[in-house]
Copies of this chain bind each other. A is one copy, B any other.
Amino acid sequence: MSTIRHRIGVRNAAPQTVYDALATIDGLAGWWAVDTSGDPAVDGVIAFRFSTGGFDMLVRELVPAKSVRWEVVDGPEEWIGTEVSFELRQEDGFTVVLFEHRGWTEPVEFMYHCSTKWASFLLSLKELLETGAGRPDPHDLRISDWH
């Protein structure tokens, strides 16, 4: 099993503010995919739709101001059954976000792409909260031929 890991810090934002951007449809639409819909409560399914495809996430765990955990229930074959999590904590004027995308059965080339793309979207989350505007799909940074 392989894991994608990232760490960012959001300046001058309380953990609850970052949590809200991860646990509400409006928040998620501000940094990941403009076309986000569904039920963001525990056991709900959130549908993210991108120019290149989509993901359905089953919300597994929500701890306000602390953590968000999803299970991928639909999307690219390599993603189905994997888990995505965000852990939050305050440190030196930043809210630190520890990100994991766990459960990749093989480190296929698509995983390399998703690792870089996740970094780019986490920086979009940071931008959203620090400046008021993120770069969700379809306004995201194109990182390669795979988009």
Contact = CB atoms under 8 A, between A and B. Distances in A.
- Count copies of this chain in the complex: 2
Nearest to A7: B112
Nearest to A91: B145
Determine the main DSSP class of A at the interface with B.
mixed
Interface string A1-20: 01111111100000000000
Contacts of A98: 109, 112
A113 to B, nearest CB: 4
Interface of A: 2-9, 91-94, 96, 98-99, 107, 109, 111-113, 115-116, 119-120, 122-123, 126, 141, 143-146
Given A98-B109, A123-B143, A126-B143, 19 more contacts: A2-B3, A2-B5, A3-B107, A4-B5, A4-B115, A5-B112, A5-B115, A7-B116, A7-B143, A7-B144, A8-B143, A9-B144, A9-B146, A91-B145, A92-B145, A94-B145, A98-B112, A119-B119, A120-B123
9 nearest CB pairs, A to B: A9-B144, A119-B119, A7-B112, A6-B116, A7-B113, A5-B112, A94-B145, A92-B145, A9-B145
